Structure 1
Amino acid sequence: MKRILSTIILCGAALAVAAQPHEPAAPLAARVDSLSAEVAALRTESGTWQKIVARLPRISGYVQTGFDYATDASEFRLRRVRLNLQGDILRDRILYRAQFELAAPRIVDAYIEYRPFAQLNFKLGQYKIPFSIENTDYAPLKFELIEYPMALQRMMGLSERIGDKSLSATGREMGLTLYGGFLQRDGRRLVSYDVSIFNGAGINTRDNNRSKDVAVRLTLRPLAGMQLSGSYYRGEFGPEYLLRERYGAGVCYDRGAVVLRGEWVGGRTGTPSVDGGPTGRFRSSGWYALGGWRPHAHWTLVARYDTLLADTSAHASRQTNYTAGLTWQPLKWLRGQLNYTYEDYKISAAENRHVGSLLLSAIF
């Protein structure tokens, strides 16, 4: 744009000179100098404006809405309405992000990152807990299915119950994380780590005890598209300091037309005291295996086996879900997903269910 503007002005000057052949040389030179000064001023103004625009936050987001049909119920759902603002204060060094959920108004992400070195970086605020592969690496617009696996939902704050409290924190927490990677090869770090300290009370709330939760994750990427992950989380929840311990391991290969992923998550959860007695605890264990194929850039076919034993001492607490899904994304800004799930409950009081779900995502 600046080159075009300069060319037009200089051509105008040349035509003016050609149209007045009898004008003395000195006034013509003064006019050319004046026009050159105007071009320089326009260039400076344009550069200043570009710097201002570069400092403004980038705005993006999406709307996800759909329909669920089950054996015993059906409903239209507005699942997510996200607005995302992000930018940088010092390019590639100090960055910020704020993400809002408008369907059930709340702040989802709000953090600042400082990236001085590839091996050591800092993140402070509210964000995804670095635990497992899917919790951080597969956001809703990248995830191949509609529902996350049960082990992640019930043990990592997506839809978790601790004592008589419900923790629906979308897998996020408030705290500080140190992270980085080593041994770069072909654009990836072969070894990366995350070490975090969190409040442990959920999002958009004050801490409700004096202890802090700790999360640690180690990730290996030996091949392009492949990662091996191990995670550990330990904390105490609420005024009763109920134990919240989680551990997991996973493997993923996602490259080209193929995606294969599996993770196991286990944990121990405290239970409140009864009549002033000591608090108790129980163990949980769950895992999933997912496989997918992309026959075309716009299509993904996927299947998942997902099982959770909510209390390892009670076999009847097991639930197993069998899911088949289809994702269609004809445009960058439009995504459609169709899932079928068969829910198998071991407990005799619950009936097995067939669930069909449709989800449409409009992205901006």
Structure 2
Amino acid sequence: MKNIITLFLIVFVSAELSFAQNVNPADTSKKTEKSSDGKIQYIIAAKQLKLTGYTQPRFQYFQDTTKISTFDIRRARLALTGNMTDKIEYRFFAEFGGSVPPQLLEAIFTYKADDRLKVAVGQMLVPLGNDIIASETKMESVNRVVLSEVLGARGQDVIGNQNARDIGLSVAGTFKRKDEADFFKYTIGVFNGTGINKLDNNQDKAIAGRMLISPVKNLWAGGSYYNGSSRWGDDVTIDKNRDRYAFELEYKWKTLILRSEYMAGQDDTINRYGYYVQLIGDIIPKKIQLSGRFEFFDFNEAVVDDGIYLYTITPSYLWGDNAKVQFGYDIVMEESTEQKKNNVFQAQFQLAF
């Protein structure tokens, strides 16, 4: 933990000193503003290093008495971002909370030719699905859906929890209509296929891509594809397939959001799939939000009655853009006739800066 904190401080202080000594007038922009006495003032705004972060303390109550209800610091993250030039950006992102030692989540350098072409290299999110790569600070529910945890290099994936990230190279862009509204987005990348802070463990590279199109205003539809292989389990000398594909849909109307996604995957010889439908709306705009979600996931298509149904309701109380508290209740129902007592209540607070 000390090493990561020290690294962040060294990078931050060094970059600030370097910036202060080497500000180029060409890298500054001028804007005008009227003072209280009506005089025009010129303000010079230069590129600066930016430190942001957030924390999410949580309480969990389990219906299953074999599990211990507990408080925890689910996430405590810091991000360091900035521009080296008008076209080159960088981002470092680290985790200090959770049940694992502090770790580097992202280290990305991005070259932006324009909005239609951005090339990134480093450790980054893999372009797969909607819920999998959604920002934790923007989620309308306390938890992600099950398909994200099992198929998205998160908590229940065969390669372990990689926070949906990997090391590689990606190309992304956004195309606009004549009215300047976005209508097509894409991201395509090549990755090790092993996750964060790891070398590749075989000769193959994973390929991932996600594309979205907006045929009409406020409607987005698209799909994702991932093809890779890795080594996991008892025998780590054998390459095993790890493939995924997904379809997604999202529609916004006033303060309502309708979101749905289907994803299927193959881990070696095991085929899995899942889907969800989610409806989000404001009870009081920018103050109280309510999310309802239904999902199904089949952990192994070859096993009868292996799936689960999950009903989740989440009210959220918001304090501006940087703070909120969410209360999530998950009702879990097994596909089989034998039901388990595994419902979960969670309360999560979020503070960002």
Q: Which secondary structure state, in structure 2, belongs to the residue aligned with residue 167 of structure 1?
A: coil
Contact 1:188 1:221 in 2 (8 A): no
How many residues are paired up? 304
Name the structure 1 match of 2:250: 252
Aligned 1:69-84 pairs, distance under 5 A: 69-72=61-64, 73=67, 74-84=69-79
Q: Which secondary structure state, in structure 2, belongs to the residue aligned with residue 90 of structure 1?
A: coil
Work out which of the residue numbers 273, 276, 288 in structure 1 matches 2:276. Answer: 288
State the alpha-carbon separation in 2 of the partners of residues 171 and 187 from structure 1: 31
Work out which of the residue numbers 84, 91, 94 in structure 2 matches 1:89. Answer: 84
State the alpha-carbon separation in 2 of the partners of residues 102 and 46 from structure 1: 32
Q: Which secondary structure state, in structure 2, belongs to the residue aligned with residue 153 of structure 1?
A: helix
Percent of aligned pairs sharing the same letter: 24
Contact 1:128 1:135 in 2 (8 A): no
Match for 2:259: what amino acid? R
Q: Which secondary structure state, in structure 1, belongs to the residue aligned with residue 343 of structure 2?
A: strand
Cα displacement string for residues 3-23 of structure 1 (whole angstroms, at most 9, x for unaligned residues): xxxxxxxxxxxxxxxxxxxxx
Match for 2:225: what amino acid? Y
Name the structure 1 match of 2:131: 134
Do the aligned partners of residues 113 and 160 (structure 1) sit closer, same or farther apart at CA in structure 2, a change above 3 Å counting? same
Aligned 1:1-364 pairs, distance under 5 A: 54-72=46-64, 73=67, 74-91=69-86, 93-103=87-97, 104-136=101-133, 138-162=134-158, 166-238=159-231, 239-254=237-252, 256-270=254-268, 281-295=269-283, 296-347=285-336, 351-364=340-353
Contact 1:129 1:172 in 2 (8 A): yes
State the alpha-carbon separation in 2 of the partners of residues 255 and 54 from structure 1: 38
When Rg is computed on C-alpha atoms for both structures, the one with the higher figure is: 1
Gaps of 5+ in 1: 1-44, 271-280
CA apart distance, 1:90: 1.3
Do the aligned partners of residues 264 and 70 (structure 1) sit closer, same or farther apart at CA in structure 2, a change above 3 Å counting? same
Q: Which secondary structure state, in structure 2, belongs to the residue aligned with residue 169 of structure 1?
A: coil
CA apart distance, 1:186: 4.2
State the alpha-carbon separation in 1 of the partners of residues 257 and 74 from structure 2: 25
Q: Which secondary structure state, in structure 2, belongs to the residue aligned with residue 168 of structure 1?
A: coil
Gaps of 5+ in 2: 1-21, 29-43, 232-236
CA apart distance, 1:109: 1.2
Which structure shows the bigger proportion of residues in helix conformation? 1
Contact 1:133 1:229 in 2 (8 A): no
State the alpha-carbon separation in 2 of the partners of residues 324 and 343 from structure 1: 12
State the alpha-carbon separation in 2 of the partners of residues 323 and 151 from structure 1: 14
State the alpha-carbon separation in 1 of the partners of residues 75 and 105 from structure 2: 11
Match for 2:50: what amino acid? R
CA apart distance, 1:233: 0.2
**Runs of 4+ off more than 6 Å:** 45-48
Q: Which secondary structure state, in structure 2, belongs to the residue aligned with residue 344 of structure 1?
A: strand
Q: Which secondary structure state, in structure 1, belongs to the residue aligned with residue 46 of structure 2?
A: helix
Give the TM-score, by structure 1 length. 0.78
Contact 2:308 2:332 in 1 (8 A): yes
Give the TM-score, by structure 2 length. 0.81
Cα displacement string for residues 17-55 of structure 1 (whole angstroms, at most 9, x for unaligned residues): xxxxxxxxxxxxxxxxxxxxxxxxxxxx9997x969834
Cα displacement string for residues 167-222 of structure 1 (whole angstroms, at most 9, x for unaligned residues): 10111111101112334354433122211100000101111111100002211022
Do the aligned partners of residues 355 and 160 (structure 1) sit closer, same or farther apart at CA in structure 2, a change above 3 Å counting? closer
State the alpha-carbon separation in 1 of the partners of residues 307 and 345 from structure 2: 21
RMSD between aligned residues:
2.2
Name the structure 1 match of 2:34: none
Contact 2:330 2:343 in 1 (8 A): yes
Q: Which secondary structure state, in structure 2, belongs to the residue aligned with residue 134 of structure 1?
A: coil
CA apart distance, 1:348: 6.6
State the alpha-carbon separation in 2 of the partners of residues 207 and 156 from structure 1: 18
State the alpha-carbon separation in 1 of the partners of residues 154 and 46 from structure 2: 35
CA apart distance, 1:57: 1.5
Match for 1:215: what amino acid? A
State the alpha-carbon separation in 2 of the partners of residues 235 and 156 from structure 1: 13
State the alpha-carbon separation in 1 of the partners of residues 251 and 226 from structure 2: 24
Contact 2:129 2:223 in 1 (8 A): yes
Q: Which secondary structure state, in structure 2, belongs to the residue aligned with residue 219 of structure 1?
A: strand
